[in-house]
A and B are shown apart, each in its own frame.
Chain A
Amino acid sequence: MERVTTAAATDRELVARLQRGEEAAFAELVTRHQGRALNVAYHVLRDHADATEVAQDAFVNIYRNIGTFRGDSEFTTWLHQIVLNLARNKHRWWKRRGRQTTVSLDAPHETSAGPVTRDVASPTDAPDRAAVKAELIQQISAAMTRLPPKFREVLVLRNVEDLSYDQIAAVLRCSVGTVKSRIARAREALRADWSRD
Chain B
Amino acid sequence: MNCRQIQKELSAYVDNEVRPELRAAIESHLTGCPDCQRRVTEWQQLAAGVHALPTAQPPPDFLREVRRKIADNTPAGTATWRDRLFFPVWKVPLEAAALVAVLATATFLLRTPPPPAAQPTSEAAATDQLAPAPAATPAIAEMRDKAPILSREVPAEKIIVESADAAGVRRRAAKSANELRGQVLLGRSAQEFWVELPADSVGGFKNQFGLGDRDDLLRKKDQAFGTGAVKEESTTTNTALPQVILQIQIVPPNTP
A-B interaction: yes
List chain A positions with a Cβ less than 8 A from chain B: 27, 30-31, 34-35, 38-39, 42-43, 48-49, 51-61, 63-64, 85-86, 89-90, 93-94, 96-99, 105, 109, 111-114, 116-121, 123, 125-126, 128-129, 131-132, 136-137, 139-141, 144, 155-156, 158-160, 162, 164-165, 180, 183-184, 187, 190-191, 194
Does B12 lie at the interface of the complex (its beta carbon under 8 Å from any beta carbon of A)? yes
- B44 near A89 with CB under 8 A, answer no
Does B108 lie at the interface of the complex (its beta carbon under 8 Å from any beta carbon of A)? no
CA distance A58 to B58 in the complex (A): 14
Q: Mark B77-102, 1 if CB is under 8 A from A, else 0.
A: 10110110001100111000000000
- A118 near B91 with CB under 8 A, answer no
Does B49 lie at the interface of the complex (its beta carbon under 8 Å from any beta carbon of A)? yes
Report A-chain residues with C-beta under 8 Å of the C-beta of B4.
Answer: none
Q: A63-B66, A184-B8 are in contact. List 6 more A-B contacts (CB 8 A).
A: A38-B56, A86-B76, A86-B77, A94-B83, A136-B49, A141-B53
Report B-chain residues with C-beta under 8 Å of the C-beta of A137.
Answer: 49, 52-54
- A52 near B76 with CB under 8 A, answer no
CA distance A34 to B87 in the complex (A): 26
Closest to A98 in B: B91
Q: Mark B135-167, 1 if CB is under 8 A from A, else 0.
A: 000000000000000000000000000000000
Minimum CB–CB distance for A34 against chain B, Å: 5
The residue from B60, B62, B76 contacting A64, defined by CB atoms under 8 A apart: B76
- B66 near A56 with CB under 8 A, answer yes
- A132 near B49 with CB under 8 A, answer yes
CA distance A164 to B48 in the complex (A): 16
Closest to B68 in A: A56
Q: Which A-B residue pairs are the 6 nearest by beta carbons?
A: A98-B91, A184-B11, A140-B49, A159-B50, A42-B56, A57-B76
Report B-chain residues with C-beta under 8 Å of the C-beta of A164.
Answer: 17
Report A-chain residues with C-beta under 8 Å of the C-beta of B53.
Answer: 43, 120-121, 137, 140-141, 144, 160
Does B223 lie at the interface of the complex (its beta carbon under 8 Å from any beta carbon of A)? no
Does B70 lie at the interface of the complex (its beta carbon under 8 Å from any beta carbon of A)? yes
Given A61-B77, A141-B53, A183-B11, A55 contacting B46 (CB threshold 8 A): no
CA distance A103 to B62 in the complex (A): 21
Does B21 lie at the interface of the complex (its beta carbon under 8 Å from any beta carbon of A)? no
Interface size of B in residues (CB-CB distance below 8 Å) = 44
Minimum CB–CB distance for A137 against chain B, Å: 5
Minimum CB–CB distance for B196 against chain A, Å: 39
CA distance A161 to B53 in the complex (A): 12
- A131 near B48 with CB under 8 A, answer yes
CA distance A38 to B83 in the complex (A): 18
Given A60-B66, A86-B76, A164-B17, A180 contacting B11 (CB threshold 8 A): yes
CA distance A60 to B83 in the complex (A): 19
Q: Mark B22-66, 1 if CB is under 8 A from A, else 0.
A: 000000000000000000001111111111111111111111011
Report A-chain residues with C-beta under 8 Å of the C-beta of B82.
Answer: 49, 53
- A63 near B58 with CB under 8 A, answer no
Minimum CB–CB distance for A162 against chain B, Å: 8
- B15 near A94 with CB under 8 A, answer no
- A34 near B17 with CB under 8 A, answer no
Given A93-B83, A132-B45, A165-B17, A116 contacting B57 (CB threshold 8 A): yes
- A136 near B45 with CB under 8 A, answer yes
- A180 near B58 with CB under 8 A, answer no
Given A86-B76, A132-B52, A183 contacting B15 (CB threshold 8 A): yes
Report A-chain residues with C-beta under 8 Å of the C-beta of B93.
Answer: 96-97
CA distance A96 to B92 in the complex (A): 8
Report B-chain residues with C-beta under 8 Å of the C-beta of A159.
Answer: 47, 50-51
- A97 near B88 with CB under 8 A, answer yes
Minimum CB–CB distance for A160 against chain B, Å: 6
